[in-house]
Amino acid sequence: MRAARFSTCSGPLQDIRPSTSNAVMYGYPEELVSLFAERVITRVLGVLNRRYLASDPIEDGSLPVPEPGKSYVLYAHVPFCERLCTYCSFNRFLYKEDRARAYFADLRSEMRMTAELGYDFHSLYIGGGTPTILPDELAATIDLARDLFPSITEVSAETSPNHLCPELVSMLDGRVQRLSVGIQSFDDRLLRQMDRYGKYGSGDEVFERVVSVASEFPSFNVDMIFNFPSQTEDVLAHDIERVKQTGANQTTFYPLMASPLRRRELAQSVGDIDYPREARYYELICRELAPEFKPASAWTFSRDPSTMIDEYIVDYPEYVGIGSGALSFLGYRSYGNTFSLGKYHERITSGRMSVVTRGRRYGLLGRMRYRFVTDLFGLKLDTRRFRRDFGLPVEVGLAAELAFMHAVGGIATHTTDEITLTDKGRYLLLVIMRETLALSNDARDRARAELPLDERILLLEGDTSAMVPAEATLAAC
């Protein structure tokens, strides 16, 4: 570990000297330190995030125009799935073809409105839901994006295991540079508990599908979940080994992130989330993926860390979100789109964008914290850029935050150029993202609760008229 010695608050960093981490120096066990740090971060973020994520309704649903010289990423949301996962809080509805085709048309209209504001993008990320629910509509949407925004050089899209087939590969060839498939686990018992076994097949069947297409994309990512209540270390280790055998060149291990509103529901169905063991499981993931996979972010691991990664906020801290339920973050202020499919269609067809809420603009401290988190989530904070952008060094602007990370052994190197993380530091950044996204999920759950009755029905598995059997999709492939 390294600890920093600073000059006066107004002066530069004088020298960096190797040191034992404060936590080790105090003689506390490493596991206890990790648990203490995780609990502190969780409690503090529970307060801070409610302020940072707060928003108010707005009537004028437009976005601000782009700032000259700033780079943005475009996020497009496709909220349809053949089946709905109970632990997922993203905006999603049961699929029906005519409903989905009308939505894709509206999504492309909103994309044109974004272009009219003057935006250009280097990267497009399409999430859901299941963006590959209608491959031809997805291809048309990507083609339009490339026409409207000539600077786009990379496109990422998400998919489900039952869509992995030659037809999809052919449709997305040359259009998508990074495909991410949600696997969650290869363990049949866990798949049944997650209600995925009947939807997507057994762990062996899903494994064979991944193997069949993993080499067809420049970047192919396998999404996994860890710290599921009934998951043992042996099950997790087996999942890690299966990931390595798929041929995928990237994997993302997300901790189970239940919103505060859904934790009780989850506990009743599969058990309580065991947060004290989360750090131990993360350590196992890092150890067992090495040396083939190297960290590319706090929870993404790549065979080649220079390839595209899952979290666009690492390279593009500001982004435009289009589609029902999408978020934008511009000028250190969030903008939320309507969750209602009916209201989304109504707004777009009337020539308005779908923005219905606006957050409060971050003050200087909030902006510095946002940079601190997004940069370190991507494993390195550029200290020179920080000082240039905020007018003071990170050692002064975020003295308490930095001291905490040093004290618990989270900082690997701290120089005049950059700050990097230890394995423990990466785990703590994962905790920060977990808690932030969990509270975002809480807001999504509340938004869904306010949907009109006819749309809330689309969130129920009982609406069989709107469902496509998984067997039918598998047969089509």
Give the range of the structural domain holding residue 416, as residue numbers without chain letter: 2-51+365-421
pTM, two decimal places: 0.86
Does 235 lie in the same domain as 185? Answer: yes
Question: In the predicted model, what is the mean pLDDT of residues 38-67?
Answer: 83
Domain presence at residue 270: yes
List the structure tokens of 50: 């409610």
Question: In the predicted model, what is the mean pLDDT of residues 75-97?
Answer: 78
Does 471 lie in the same domain as 394? Answer: no
Domain presence at residue 350: no
Does 188 lie in the same domain as 142? Answer: yes
5 exposure class (CB count in 10 Å sphere: 0-12, 13-18, 19+): exposed
CB 231 within 8 A of CB 185: yes
Residue 63 predicted with pLDDT over 80: yes
pLDDT at position 21 is 45
Name, in order, each residue with C-beta under 8 angstroms of 103's C-beta and a sequence gap of 6 or more: 78, 79, 80, 324, 341, 344, 345
- Give the domain-ending residue among 378, 397, 421: 421
Does 182 lie in the same domain as 126? Answer: yes
Domain presence at residue 323: no
Domain presence at residue 199: yes
How far apart (Å, rounded) are the C-alpha atoms in residues 460 and 196? 16
Does 263 lie in the same domain as 218? Answer: yes
Confidence tier at 163 by pLDDT (50, 70, 90): very high
Confidence tier at 311 by pLDDT (50, 70, 90): low
Q: Which of 24-38, 63-77, 212-226, 457-471 has the lowest mean pLDDT?
A: 457-471
Q: For 80, what's the count of Cα atoms within 13 Å in the CB-facing half-sphere?
A: 23
φ and ψ at 146, to 5 degrees?
-65, -30
Does 300 lie in the same domain as 167? Answer: yes
Does 98 lie in the same domain as 210? Answer: yes
- 392-441 pLDDT, tens digit per residue, is 999 999 999 999 999 999 999 999 999 999 999 999 999 999 888 877 76
Percent of the chain with pLDDT over 90: 63
pLDDT at position 261 is 64
φ and ψ at 250, to 5 degrees?
-155, 150
Domain presence at residue 294: yes
Q: State the angle between helix axes of 364-377 and 383-390 in degrees (0 to 180), rounded to the nearest 10.
A: 160
pLDDT at position 137 is 97
Give the burial string for 363-400 (b: 16+ CB within 10 Å, else e): eeeebbbbbbbbbbbbbbbebeebbeebeebbbbbbee
Confidence tier at 35 by pLDDT (50, 70, 90): confident
Does 31 lie in the same domain as 123? Answer: no
Instruction: Pick the more confident residue, 340 or 112.
Output: 112
pLDDT at position 309 is 59
Q: Which of 50-54, 208-212, 346-350 has the lowest mean pLDDT?
A: 50-54
Q: Nearest-CA neighbor of 40 among 357, 292, 403, 311? A: 403
Question: In the predicted model, what is the mean pLDDT of residues 265-285?
Answer: 84
List the structure tokens of 238: 């087996």
- Total number of domains in the chain: 2
User: How does DSSP classify residue 157?
Assistant: E
Name, in order, each residue with C-beta under 8 angstroms of 22's C-beta and a sequence gap of 6 or more: 3, 406, 407, 408, 409
Does 91 lie in the same domain as 47? Answer: no
Mean pLDDT of the chain: 85
Does 386 lie in the same domain as 417? Answer: yes
Domain presence at residue 194: yes
pLDDT at position 219 is 95
Does 392 lie in the same domain as 459? Answer: no
Does 164 lie in the same domain as 198? Answer: yes
Domain presence at residue 411: yes
List the structure tokens of 76: 């497009």
Give the burial string for 82-110 (b: 16+ CB within 10 Å, else e): bbbbebbbbbbbbbbeeebeebbebbbbb
Domain presence at residue 354: no
User: What are the CA-CA distances from residue 115 to residues 146, 205, 320 (Å)?
Assistant: 11, 42, 11
List the structure tokens of 328: 């934008």
Residue 465 predicted with pLDDT over 80: no
Please report, for the domain that includes residue 180, its CATH number: 3.80.30.20
Is the peptide bond between 351 and the residue preceding it cis, with omega within 30 degrees of 0?
Answer: no
- Give the domain-ending residue among 378, 403, 421: 421
